[in-house]
Amino acid sequence: MDKVKGFRDIFPEDMEVRERVFSESDRWAIAFGFKRIDFPSVEFLDLYKLKSGEELVGQSFSFKDKNGRDITLIPEATPTVSRMLASRKELPKPVKWYSIGKFWRYEDPQSGRQREFYQFNADIFGPNSAEADAEVIMLATKILDGLGLESKYEMRVNSRKLMQKLLENLGVKEPVRAFQIIDRFRKITVDDFVEEISPLLAGSSDVAMLVDILSKPVNPDKLSKLSSSRKDLFSGAEDEIARISRTVRDCSSVTKSRVLIDFSVIRGLTYYTGIVFEAFDAMGESRSILGGGRYDGLMSLLSGESIPAVGFAMGDVTLELTMRKNNTWNVPVKKPSIYLCKAPDAEDPELPGIAMQIRYRGISCSTDLYSRSLASQLRDASRAGCGYALIRGAREIKERKISVKNLGSGNQRSIGLDSLNEFLDIIVSLVV
């Protein structure tokens, strides 16, 4: 029977790598002082109608429950996390939360996009500062760097406040509509973009100017020069230029990957209010690996209390494509593993205790479940990628010993049961 379109079967070899992705994300989130949360898989659809815009609502897996209420599988985390914080107003700020979970969107499956996916999310609630902006972006860079992608991606940063002022200076009367078109700038041809944006601008020279700015990411120094040479274009945006420049400089100090200011990065969701950012493969060959920004107005819609917030989300689908392309997806995961073999014709009452002694040390330990020959057990151990086989035959049982076979070199020796912990110490140290 076929699986449902847009959903994935994830087998052990790929799940193991995914666990490495989750572990690296978890490690860096904790290092930055974030606390892990979890939340329901379903929400009232009204939460997304109010917070995320019609496009996302149209992509939701929504249905009516038995009481006739509109329910949806959660398509993203931000509204849910904001709802959770609204129920805990007493928490001291800043609140720094992260999560790793499954999400669902009903959209056409294609390269880099599935209808069900894993996603890492991190948010800071409370401070409206360049430091908070930089912290979430730095967390994102360190996760990607830790997964072997340093210098293989670009972090591109922009500000909606800056873009709104720029568009106003160009005479745009509908900045929200312009944002929607700009969000598609790198997804459509330049001719199509010009056709869509032209009705919002006064003349062809303004259109040409906007296309030029959107086409060329810059570093903070070039932004300063650009804003100085085109004061008419950036008038009124001086504070936001200083803020975004500082944020980009701080983030650049912690990674070898390029951190740039890209005016075409605008983010499609309606709740973003300030800085926005996305990470892209350095060769520009795939959709964004992650994205986020500042959403200072969302909490007031939920609780009536204005709480500044900034965060990002990283899905596993595009991340996997990027890692595979850069040969970092199938990097072997170093985990100690042992196969505990037993003679099929020998009673060994100590075997379960020996297996648990190994497992208590955090070492994977498999045992034979079929009463097969020793040769079959050793073949199984090799196929499973175990580093060692520990053998308990009739002689070892009688003498309270274990034969230790290195499955890589083939070398074998015998140790006493009282020396097992010393051997396990060595196994653990080899993979730390």
- Do 302 and 390 sit in the same domain of this protein? no
In the predicted structure, residue 255 carries a pLDDT above the cut 70: yes
Which of these three, 303, 325, 347, is where a domain ends? Answer: 325
Torsion sign over Cα 176, 178, 181, 184: negative
> Per the structure, how many domains does the chain have?
2
pLDDT level of residue 161 (50, 70, 90 thresholds): very high
Question: Which helix (H) or strand (E) element contains residue 196?
Answer: helix 190-197
Measure Cα distances from 118 to 19, 44, 104 in Å: 11, 21, 9
CB 381 within 8 A of CB 389: yes
CB 234 within 8 A of CB 121: no
- Do 297 and 263 sit in the same domain of this protein? yes
Q: Which two tokens stand for residue 349?
A: 């009452």
Give tens-digit pLDDT for 87-125. Answer: 898 899 999 999 999 999 988 888 778 999 999 999 999
In the predicted structure, residue 364 carries a pLDDT above the cut 90: yes
In 140-163, which positions are buried (b, 16+ CB within 10 angstroms) versus exposed (e)? bbbbbbbbebeebbbbbbbbbbbb
CATH code for position 427: 3.40.50.800
Residue 169 lies in a domain: yes
Peptide bond just before 94 cis, omega within 30 deg: yes
- Do 259 and 391 sit in the same domain of this protein? no
- Do 38 and 124 sit in the same domain of this protein? yes
CATH code for position 155: 3.30.930.10
Residue 6 lies in a domain: no
Residue 373 lies in a domain: yes
The answer to which of 7-11, 47-51, 316-320 has the lowest mean pLDDT is 47-51
- Do 356 and 313 sit in the same domain of this protein? no
- Do 151 and 254 sit in the same domain of this protein? yes
The answer to which of 52-56, 397-401, 406-410, 428-432 has the lowest mean pLDDT is 52-56
Q: Give the domain extent around 347.
A: 337-431
Residue 32 lies in a domain: yes
pLDDT value at residue 52: 57
Range ranked top by mean pLDDT from 98-107, 227-236, 294-303? 98-107
Residue 371 lies in a domain: yes
